[in-house]
Amino acid sequence: MHTIPKIVINSGKEKVLTIQRFTLEEGDSLLLQNENPEGKTLFLRGLYRFLQNSRRRREKLIEKGDVFLWDIRRDKIYSKGNREAILLEYQPAIIPEMTLNQNILLPMKGMNIRLKHKLIDYLRTFGLTMKQFSPGRNLSFSEMKIVELIRAVLLLPELILIDDFDLSYHKNLHDRIFEMFSLVRKNGTIIIATCKSANPFFTRNFSIKGKEVFEI
Amino acid sequence: MKPALILTFILLICLIVFSLADFLLLEQYENLVTRIESLPVILFSSNFSLLHNLMNELEDEPVVTSLEIERNIEILDKMIKEYDLPAAEQILDIDSLPNMLEFRLEGELITEKGYSELKERFEREGSDITLISQDIELSDLFELKQMLLLTRKAILAGIIIILSIVTFVTGAMVIRRSNYYWHIYYRSGGTKKRFRSYLLNLLLGTILSLSLLAIIFYLVDYYLQMSYEFELRYWILFGLVIFIPGLLAWCLTERS
């Protein structure tokens, strides 16, 4: 179980967003639904930034009941890696010079047979087998997003944070993606996504009201 | 790995050019030293004990080698034997012939100032001593030697500056060009430390370029009999000259 303390996101002295304390169970799937563009990405970034702290520091913060403050102007969120949580922003994180396979294997330290089979399986599911050796620059936006998703799923992190789920993935792909998510959720991975409209796949729903995120 | 290879290649070219220039200068320098050492300096005096005392003093001087003292009678004998002049012995007055002290200069150590001090020392002994040497040629050789040494120092300073700039610029360029890669790498969940990777590449570039240079030296010596090698302090100096600007590039570029 993960406990997320109250997170307050500031921009200088101005308060931008507050995320109320909540807990996450293994295999949970959360959706932050909001029609307005503001706050959704910030919610995911705030969570991601909190999870970048060491486990010890996080536990200390939760034990003391402190608020996690994050100033978005000062802090870079990608200054170091985080294998516990992977944030998939709207812009795909792909290196154009590398092939599809190289892009997927980028963060992996090694490749075992199990991983190889899974990769082949996922590529086949999304019809990307023929593009394994195509450079990243030749992939469409949708394909790039799928590559990014497969990479995240293969790493089996504790949390996968997906920004603008409905905009990033075409409706036709949703079933296949949810099938993949169901498999990783069995392994305990928590899926948190932001979306404009509701989706029955997600078991818990959050919303933003008056610069505050709360569970519905 | 790729940045290390780029760095190695550039550094190796710089080091080879420097080694070649240094090798040619050293050859000239060695020729000069041999020429200085081949020129004799001769002292004549009718007072043998004075010459003998001088010889004892000069034996402790590191700039003097091949000391030889000869009495006038020995000189006379030599002349008679060499030029076959048996009658000369009766004609010549033995006391009118001087005794002789001959020595050579240590080409590596002697300087124009050192030679002048040596000459002043002989002059202080009074008019009893006559010095015969090729002063004009020696002076030219000393000047040339000084010039070569200065040129060598200038080339060394030049290569230190060039190596520092090359490493700094290559390092900064590699860091800037890989910014996007590392951004994506961390976004995708990679956990490798960027600094560790950079340090590894820098070390690899340093060690690889110096090792390749050592191999080239060995091959050139083996196949072309051109014996040339750096002293240990040069290896250490070049290692530091490559490594430190590389680290500096990280400190200045990564933070900006």
Answer whether B96 touches A (CB < 8 Å).
no
Q: Is A107 on the interface with B (CB under 8 A)?
A: yes
Chain A residue with minimal CA distance to B190? A107
The pair phi, psi for residue A207, each rounded to 5°, is -145, 165
A129, A120 contact by CB (below 8 A): yes
User: Stretch B218-233: mean pLDDT, rounded?
Assistant: 81
Contacts of A95 in chain B (CB under 8 A): 180-181, 184
Q: Would you kindly state where each structural domain of chain A is located, as residue ranges?
A: 2-215
Q: What is the mean pLDDT of chain B?
A: 85
Residue of B nearest to A160 (CA): B189
Q: Mean per-residue pLDDT for B91-101?
A: 74
Q: What percent of chain A has pLDDT over 70?
A: 100
Using a CB–CB cutoff of 8 Å, tell me whether B191 touches chain A: yes
Of A44, A1, A3, A90, nearest to A206 (Cα)? A44
**Strand pairing report for A22-24 and A2-4:** antiparallel
Q: Write down the mean pLDDT value for chain A.
A: 88
Alpha-carbon distance B203 to nearest alpha carbon in chain A (angstroms): 22
Q: A100 to chain B, minimum CA–CA distance in Å?
A: 14
Strand partners, A68: A7
Residue B118 to residue B44: CA distance in whole angstroms:
15
pLDDT digits 0-9 by tens, B112-161: 888 888 888 888 877 778 888 888 888 899 899 999 999 989 998 998 99
Looking at the complex, report in whole angstroms how far the Cα of residue A82 sits from the nearest Cα belonging to chain B.
5
Which residue carries 């490493």 as its tokens? B167
pLDDT at B181: 92
Look at residue A119 and tell me whether its pLDDT is greater than 80. yes
For chain B, say whether A152 makes contact (Cβ under 8 Å). yes
Higher pLDDT, B88 or B116: B116
Residue B93 above 80 pLDDT?
no
**A164 has a chain B CB within 8 A of its CB:** no
Band the pLDDT of A122: cuts 50, 70, 90: very high
Q: Which of B180, B181, B190 sits opposite A81 (nearest CB)?
A: B190
Give Cα A33 to chain centroid, integer Å: 15
| B181, B183, B189: residue with CB nearest A86 | B189
Question: What pLDDT does residue A130 have?
Answer: 92
Q: Do A81 and B181 touch (CB under 8 A)?
A: no
- What is the average per-residue pLDDT within B87-92? 67
Instruction: Report the C-alpha gap between B158 and B156 in whole angstroms.
Output: 5
pLDDT over threshold 90, residue A53? no
The yes-or-no verdict on residue B89 having pLDDT over 70 is no
Strand extents, DSSP E, chain B: 40-45, 64-70, 99-105, 129-132
Residue of A97, A105, A106, A146 to mutate when probing chain B, most B C-beta within 10 A: A106
Topology given in CATH for the domain delimited by A2-215: Rossmann fold (3.40.50)
B237 Cα to chain A: minimum distance (Å): 34
Cβ-proximal residues to A50 (8 Å cutoff; 6+ apart), any chain:
A4, A5, A7, A58, A68, A70
Residue where the block lists tokens 């400190």: B251
Contacts of B66-70 with CB under 8 Å at 24 or more apart are: B66/B102, B66/B103, B66/B104, B67/B101, B67/B102, B67/B103, B68/B101, B68/B102, B68/B103, B69/B99, B69/B100, B69/B101, B69/B102, B70/B99, B70/B100, B70/B101, B70/B102
Residue A79 sits at the chain B interface (C-beta within 8 Å): yes
Answer whether B45's CB lies under 8 Å from B129's CB. Answer: yes
pLDDT at B1 over 70: no
Give residue-wise pLDDT tens across range B26-82. 889 999 999 998 888 888 888 888 888 888 888 888 888 888 888 877 777 777 778
CA distance to partner chain B, nearest, from residue A83 (Å): 5
User: Coil, helix or strand for B9?
Assistant: helix
Residue A5 contacts residue A66 (beta carbons within 8 Å): yes
Q: What is the mean pLDDT of residues A91-99?
A: 93
| B181 at A interface, C-beta within 8 A | yes
Percent of chain B exceeding pLDDT 70 equals 95
Question: Are B186 and A81 an interchain contact pair (Cβ–Cβ within 8 Å)?
Answer: yes
In A20-155, where do the E strands start and end?
22-24, 29-33, 68-71, 85-88
Task: Please give the residue of chain B at the shortest CA–CA distance from A106.
Answer: B185
* Residue listed under structure tokens 């796949």: A201
Of the candidate ranges A39-48, A95-104, B56-65, B124-133, the one whose mean pLDDT is the lowest: B124-133
Count of residues making up chain B? 256
A101 touches chain B (CB under 8 A): no
Question: CA B99 → CA B44, B80, B125, B154, B186, distances in Å?
Answer: 6, 16, 15, 46, 88
Instruction: For residue B187, list chain A residues with Cβ-Cβ distance below 8 A.
Output: 78, 87, 89, 93
Global pTM exceeds 0.95: no
Length of chain A: 216
pLDDT of residue B185: 93
* pLDDT over threshold 90, residue B5: no
Give the other-Cβ count within 10 Å of A7's Cβ: 22
CB-based contact B190 A152, cutoff 8 Å? no
Long-range contacts of B217-221 (CB under 8 A, 24+ apart): B217/B19
The answer to whether A107 contacts B185, with C-beta atoms less than 8 Å apart, is yes
Q: Quick one: pLDDT at residue A41? A: 87
Q: Is the pLDDT of residue A141 over 90?
A: yes
What does the pLDDT read at residue A191? Answer: 93
Higher pLDDT, A75 or A183: A183
> What is the pLDDT, as a whole number, of residue A160?
94
- Asked if residue A151 lies in contact with residue A78, where contact means CB atoms within 8 angstroms, the answer is no
- pLDDT at position B81, please? 79
For the stretch A150-176, pLDDT in tens is 999 999 899 999 999 988 998 889 999
